[in-house]
Amino acid sequence: MTSTKTTRNPSSLELIRRLSSARGAPGFEDEVLDAARQFIDPQTVRTESDSLRNFYLYRNQNSGDRPVVMLDGHSDEVGFMIQSVTREGMLKIMPLGGWAPQTVLAQKVAVRSVSGKWIPGLVAAKPPHFMKESEKSSAVNIEDMVIDVGAVSAEEITDIFGIEPGAPVVPHADFEFNSETGVMLGKAFDNRLGCAAVLETLSRLVNADLAVDVVGVFSSQEEAGLRGAQVAARKVRPQAAIVFEGAPADDFHGNAEARQGVLKKGPQIRHADRSMIANPRFTRFARETAQMNELPFQDAVRASGGTDGGSIHLSGAGIPTIVISVPVRYIHSPYGFAALADFEHAVDWCEAILKRIKPEDITSF
């Protein structure tokens, strides 16, 4: 399946751009929610948030007496927190989420000041000119890196830049879209693509006659241990859940026959990972739905990784849960590539599932 040059819904591309560009390290997701609110029609969706900054989107056509299907996409991105300030004005950092050190060094980042201003900085380490020969061939660990914002003292960090320990840090990256290839480039596709999919699905369901109620959630702090989803699942109390993710693409890694996350080959359905074995009956229902609607998809069986599904499926008495993922090259790094067609097919798939699913189907799961 190849990508179309333009999106079927031009506003979805702007939605992705705005969400991708928003800065939201784990625990600091407010800017992402503010961006999302600009795309929500209060006549069709009622919203609220909690102290963890989980963001709830209730379809106004929900009746309150039907099974609830929860749609989840986590709003945080991998980032850092300022741990301390050196006397020379360098900022020591602690990772928030899983980073490979080789993707961090020399990258441009943004650090939030006490006043809310985002300060540009560079991730730095000892220059090669001052390294011993043994150091030049060794990887630099994140704990040995610093962020340089151009200060010359700790006093400047406090008095001029207004940066204190505990400040969030995210990569600085500009969103771009290649209309010839249909491929997007930007940051935080894990998992702003999932957030965009939640909003886009709810938008498409405005006039749909469903047999279930639907509640969307932007869950917080997924990258810090699937935390927000634990609270969100207890609040929503769904009978089934669909988790949207931005998953690592493997289209040029390892054995070609084993690849399960190839750009422009459709979204993935994840059968298993470290956090969850997906409900096999719900998985089969979803695959049949895609086949009935001639939607491309890929099957993913992962020995590592995890999603909000890991928390949601263990909520209450157990929630039948599936994970639909958009393949993204270079997740958990400052930039990533993703195909717009894969995103649109993920939304197509979820929409088709929700229009087909009946209470008795959920009972059978």
Cα distance from N-terminal residue to C-terminal residue, the chain: 30
CA distance 291 to 103: 38
Instruction: Name the active-site residue from 29, 31, 200, 222.
Output: 222
DSSP-based three-state secondary structure for 359: helix
HSE-CB at 174 with a 13 A cutoff on CA atoms is 2
Using only the alpha carbons of the chain, give its radius of gyration.
21
DSSP letter at 153 equals: S
Peptide bond into 191 cis (omega under 30): yes
Task: Give the residue ranges of DSSP H helices in 55-99.
Answer: none
Q: Is 10 exposed, middle or buried (0-12, 13-18, 19+ CB in 10 A)?
A: exposed
222 assigned to active site: yes
Which residues are annotated as catalytic? 222
